Amino acid sequence: QVQLVESGGGTVQAGGSLTLSCAASVSISSINRMEWHRQAPGKQREFVASIRSGGFTTYVDSVKGRFTASRDHDKNMMYLQMNSLKPEDTAVYYCRAVISDSDYWGQGTQVTVSS
C-alpha cells in the first residue's frame, strides 16, 4: 500500500506563490508516474501536472509557464511550485501515484487564492 501525504496549501493573494509537497511512503523510483490534480468547488477533479521517470513533465494549458512539478528521489517527495497564482487556481490539490496498474491518492491540500 502506497501512502501519499500532501502539504503546503494555504491562502495567498493573486499573483503570489505557493509550493505544494507530496510525501510518498515508498521510493519514488518505483513509481511510474506522479501527478497533481485539483478539484474546485462544484467542479470535477482535473489533471494539473505530471512527472514521469526521467523527469519528463506535462501540464494542463491553464498552468503552463506558472507551475513547475519536480521530484526529490532522496526524500521521496514530489513538489508543485505555483507562481502567479490566480483566483481560478483555488481548489483542493491532490497528489496521485501510478505504479503498474494501480494508482494511489493523497488526502488533498486546500489552496485558496484571493483577488
Euclidean distance between CA atoms 13 and 102, whole angstroms: 37
* % residues pLDDT > 90 (the chain): 96
pLDDT in tens, 8-17: 999 999 999 9
DSSP per residue, 70-106: EEETTTTEEEEEE-S--GGG-EEEEEEEEETTEEEE-
> What average pLDDT does the structure give for the chain?
96
Enter the C-alpha cell of residue 49: 501536472
Residue type at 66 in one-letter notation? R
Enter the C-alpha cell of residue 11: 491562502
pLDDT in tens, 43-81: 999 999 999 988 899 999 999 999 999 999 999 999 999
Query: What is the per-residue pLDDT for 23?
Result: 98
Angle at 50 between CA 54 and CA 77, to 5 degrees: 70
